[in-house]
Chain A
Amino acid sequence: MERTLVTWLGFSLSERLSFVIKSGIFLSLCGATLFVALASSYPVVHDTLHNVRHALAVVPCH
């Protein structure tokens, strides 16, 4: 995928910058996933993961 992007954009990134960008995207996805799983009030998610939230001791629930 990275090679495709490099070909498409016409320039290459340094390995360090590439790592930072990929890590940023990765952490954003993880943050969104964690938010949905542990903080959202959507009933299906909340009811399914209610015990998980309480089991972790530091995740607030109602």
Chain B
Amino acid sequence: MSLRALFAAFCFSSVLLVGLPAGAEELNIYLKTSPALGLLRPFADPVNISLLVTHADGRPVEQGRVDIVLDAPKSGTFLSTDFPAVEGTRLLELVLPLRQGRAGWRYLFPIRGDYRLSVSVVAADGKAMAKTFIIPIRENRTKWLWLGLFCAGLFLFGFAAGRIFTVIPSSVTASWALVFLGAVSSVSGHDRPSTVENMERPSTALEIAAATVGKPTRLRYRAAEGSTATSLLSLSITHLEKHQTVFAIDNVPVEKDYQLDFHFPDGAEYRVNSIAQIPGQSPLRTEQLVAVTGVEPPMTAQIPALMFFLAVIALGLVAGRLSKSLAAR
């Protein structure tokens, strides 16, 4: 046997002996959402997100921890979403324990686009695995319908003006635009101008930093001093204006303290509830109201939308003039 053939045989044996066990050490991470991925809409209903971590042979990883990072879709298109301050920012950062290979939480996605969910798993025996999932969120169809109707109204407005300007100017005024705007949607109030104030902060174990749109806010739970027992923490964040849960975790084992970073997507009021179940004691409940400081959208996000609407009116103007000219022939 030549030296080259001997070396090749050695390499092949090495792959068989070392490569296969290494593959067996691999962990698999699966993502499941409810509703299913294709049905998710922004600011619709909170989504149940669950991760399943298994060994290569399909057995769930009994114990371990999952580091979770959720990043918002990046801005890049001509027209922004309705929450431009959220685009491209970090939305959520937390650590969850693995129980029978599973970890889960609820989350309300604020805008349309492709979210990046980065998951890093460390099993109790030290095995580690990282994976990134893309979660696509499509815009609500009702919003596209309203946008289409609004654009059609602007086009007809421009069309009428184009016909009028071609012959005899009329006393059409821009106030028609306001009349149409009033008809697009039912008029209702919004949250009052927000402040940094964190209302009703009782002496609880839950600390919430000042919340501002555009950056994550740290939420920290501390177990009572001297407590050695592991408590089960359930935490939920509710959007008071929309009456919807935007984030929730259930029964997370906490020894001393637990913290997570949550990005409040809009300048509204939220309620943060926590329930800590400590063995042998009654559940410790806390509730805090958080008034999130809103951030005005930048002009770079506002101007494209205005230019788009003006272009639709201009298109209507030209179409109106053409129709008038063609009718006169």
B247-270 vs A: 1/0 string, CB under 8 Å? 000000000000000000011000
A9 contacts the other chain (CB 8 A) = no
B266-303 vs A: 1/0 string, CB under 8 Å? 11000000000000000000000000001111000110
Known contacts A52-B181, A52-B185; A34 and B143 CB within 8 A of each other: no
With both beta carbons as reference points, the residue of chain A lying nearest to B186 in the complex is identified as A51
Could you tell me which residues of chain A, from 8 to 25, have a CB within 8 Å of some CB in chain B?
Answer: 15, 18-19, 22-23
B313: chain A residues within 8 A (beta carbon):
27, 30
Instruction: State the Cβ distance, A5 to closest chain B Cβ, in Å.
Output: 10
Total A-B residue contacts, Cβ distance less than 8 Å: 130
Decide if A46 touches B317 in the complex (CB within 8 Å).
no
A26: chain B residues within 8 A (beta carbon):
161, 165, 174, 317
With both beta carbons as reference points, the residue of chain A lying nearest to B144 in the complex is identified as A57
Instruction: State the Cβ distance, A46 to closest chain B Cβ, in Å.
Output: 7
With both beta carbons as reference points, the residue of chain A lying nearest to B111 in the complex is identified as A57
Instruction: State the Cβ distance, B263 to closest chain A Cβ, in Å.
Output: 14
Decide if A57 touches B174 in the complex (CB within 8 Å).
no
Decide if A55 touches B185 in the complex (CB within 8 Å).
yes
B175: chain A residues within 8 A (beta carbon):
33
A51: chain B residues within 8 A (beta carbon):
185-188, 190
B310: chain A residues within 8 A (beta carbon):
27, 30-31, 34
Instruction: State the Cβ distance, B186 to closest chain A Cβ, in Å.
Output: 7
Tell me the complex Cα distance, A51–B191, Å.
11
Tell me the complex Cα distance, A27–B143, Å.
25
Known contacts A27-B314, A55-B146; A60 and B166 CB within 8 A of each other: no
Could you tell me which residues of chain B, from 200 to 241, have a CB within 8 Å of some CB in chain A?
Answer: 213
Q: Which 10 A-B pairs have the closest CB atoms?
A: A60-B297, A62-B294, A50-B190, A57-B143, A29-B174, A58-B79, A60-B301, A39-B302, A60-B84, A55-B146
Which A residues are within 8 Å of any B CB, using their own CB? Answer: 1-2, 15, 18-19, 22-23, 26-27, 29-35, 37-39, 41, 43, 46-62
